[in-house]
Amino acid sequence: MITFLIVSKFWYDLHKVYTYFIERPSKAIAVLDLLLLAFISLVPVMAKWVMLEPSTMSIANYGLVFLMANLFMSGLQIWGFKKSFWVDKKRLEAMSAFRMAGTIVVNILLIGISFINPYLSMILYLGFPIATFLVTSGPGSHRKEVK
């Protein structure tokens, strides 16, 4: 169930990107999307490894896969914003860059925590996507229709 929720979070974010920002995917967007899907497909294997053997190595590998998937998701968002003519590009690009920077910082912190307390890092890593899904899908998080 945990990996289902993690993959669901990525699917939900990808759905929002394609619904609101990408009308006609270019080859670059298709490549970014395929790379994102490649890393998402590794999430269940990495999560199982972390749950069976919560060591620094397993958590660092999970963190790397999670980081790469989030970076490709941010890349898709930024690329989609550049192709959309009806959105405030500067603001959305800044928000995506902030999200990307936050993801990098959180991943580095969680990998660092895995050297001190692998169990705590495991719980935080597996709970982070679930918490962000609940926060981003709550009331008021949806974009208003542009007329």
Q: What is the pLDDT of residues 97-145, one digit of tens each?
A: 787 888 889 888 988 888 898 888 888 877 777 777 676 654 444 444 4
Report d(CA 22, CA 80) in Å as an integer: 5
8 A C-beta contact, residue 99 and residue 105? no
- The letter for the amino acid at 2 is I
**Angle, vertex CA 111, rays to CA 106 and CA 112, nearest 5:** 95
DSSP codes, 103-120? HHHHHHHHHHHHHH-HHH
* CA distances in angstroms from 47 to 44, 55, 74, 119, 121, listed in the order given: 5, 12, 22, 13, 12
Report d(CA 141, CA 147) in Å as an integer: 19
pTM (2 d.p.)? 0.75
Q: What is the pLDDT of residues 27-44, one digit of tens each?
A: 888 888 899 999 999 989
Cα separation of the two ends of the chain? 39
- pLDDT at residue number 138: 45
